[in-house]
């Protein structure tokens, strides 16, 4: 943990009455795998531009995890229930103080790739200066779920793992899922990918991790038209996201949507 994060953790520990379980005992959930910050803590982390997962990585035990199936079952069994007293259409709150559940979104709202609420300037890709001629019709801003016709997807000009598709959310949001599709008019799609995020353009990119601390690999599409949804547990609290293609069929081709975490009782 760097000095800034260590100082922040100490400040939060002083403010939130440390218990016998350690300096983060009253700051979040402990699911037996990693200790998750509660929503009050997450609000403080956001204000200081520190992502919760960086605190988790620095304070969680390093003991190897075994029994993956049991761990996953335990992970999902402690999902937070939505608070029906809140505004049912509001963004998922950060003031929850329960210590017995994981931060999992009860409702997911499409961010607006398909509806065009996400504007073209919010979507970019690697090597944008190379998208000329025929490729000018297949630029990053075409990566929209259910897009149709010529230019219905982002087609990477280069087929390697150095390519990326980036989204600027314009402000820090809680992103709870990713939906992907392949190219609408040809058998080209992304089969697997990883995700990076950062809260500020001056910070380094951070990989989204799985419960074992490894970069999580998300599995994508197997045909041109089906959509594949991957939920983020825990969600990503950030402004910038990147999809890093790791595998593809014929060519890297992406239509997509992001899901925003909402507080709606179901």
Q: Rounded to whole angstroms, how far apart are CA atoms 243 and 255?
A: 12
Query: Is the peptide bond preceding residue 16 cis, with omega within 30 degrees of 0?
Result: no
At residue 235, the pLDDT reads: 93
Q: What is the pLDDT of residues 45-104, one digit of tens each?
A: 445 544 444 444 443 333 333 343 443 344 334 444 444 344 444 454 444 433 344 456
Among 123, 194, 181, 109, smallest CA distance to 152 is for: 181
DSSP letter for 140, please. G
Q: Which ranges of 48-110 does DSSP label H, i.e. alpha helix? A: 52-59, 68-77
pLDDT tens, N- to C-terminus, the chain (266 residues): 555 555 554 554 444 433 333 333 333 333 333 333 444 444 444 455 444 444 444 433 333 333 434 433 443 344 444 443 444 444 544 444 333 444 567 888 999 999 999 999 999 999 999 999 999 999 999 999 999 999 999 999 999 999 999 999 999 999 999 999 999 999 999 999 999 999 999 999 999 999 999 999 999 999 999 999 999 999 999 999 999 999 999 999 999 999 999 875 43
E-assigned strand segments in 38-137: 90-91, 107-110, 123-125
CA distances from 223 to 86, 93, 183, 243 (A): 40, 37, 9, 19
Residue with tokens 């990326």: 164
At residue 115, the pLDDT reads: 97
Among 143, 129, 119, 118, smallest CA distance to 193 is for: 143
Beta-strand relationship, 28-30 and 206-207: unpaired
Q: Rounded to whole angstroms, how far apart are CA atoms 221 and 228?
A: 6
The CATH classification number of 113-262 equals: 2.60.120.260
At residue 231, the pLDDT reads: 95
At residue 262, the pLDDT reads: 83
Any residues with CB less than 8 A from the CB of 100 and at least 6 apart, and which?
29, 78
At residue 2, the pLDDT reads: 55
Pull the structure tokens for residue 263. Answer: 């507080």
Q: Rounded to whole angstroms, how far apart are CA atoms 238 and 163?
A: 21
Residues 212 and 201 sit within 8 Å (Cβ to Cβ): no
């Amino acid at each position: 943990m760097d000095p800034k994060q260590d100082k922040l953790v100490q400040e939060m520990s002083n403010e939130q009455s440390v218990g016998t379980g350690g300096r983060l005992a009253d700051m979040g959930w402990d699911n037996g795998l990693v200790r998750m910050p509660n929503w009050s803590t997450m609000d403080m982390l956001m204000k200081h531009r520190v992502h919760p997962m960086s605190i988790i990585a620095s304070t969680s035990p390093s003991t190897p995890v075994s029994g993956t199936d049991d761990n996953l079952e335990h992970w999902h069994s402690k999902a937070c229930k939505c608070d029906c007293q809140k505004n049912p259409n509001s963004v998922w709150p950060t003031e929850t103080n329960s210590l017995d559940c994981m931060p999992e979104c009860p409702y997911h709202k499409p961010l607006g790739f398909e509806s065009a609420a996400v504007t073209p300037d919010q979507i970019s890709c690697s090597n944008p200066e190379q998208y000329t001629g025929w490729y000018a019709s297949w630029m990053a801003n075409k990566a929209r779920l259910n897009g149709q016709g010529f230019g219905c997807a982002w087609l990477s000009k280069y087929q390697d793992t150095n390519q990326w598709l980036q989204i600027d959310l314009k402000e820090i949001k809680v992103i709870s899922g990713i939906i992907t599709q392949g190219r609408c008019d040809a058998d080209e799609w992304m089969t697997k990918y990883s995700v990076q995020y950062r809260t500020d353009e001056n910070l380094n990119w951070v990989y989204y991790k799985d419960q074992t601390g490894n970069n999580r690999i998300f599995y994508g599409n197997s045909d041109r038209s089906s959509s594949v949804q991957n939920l983020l547990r825990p969600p990503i609290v950030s402004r910038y996201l990147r999809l890093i293609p790791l595998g593809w069929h014929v060519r890297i081709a992406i239509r997509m949507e992001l899901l925003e975490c909402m507080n709606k009782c179901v």
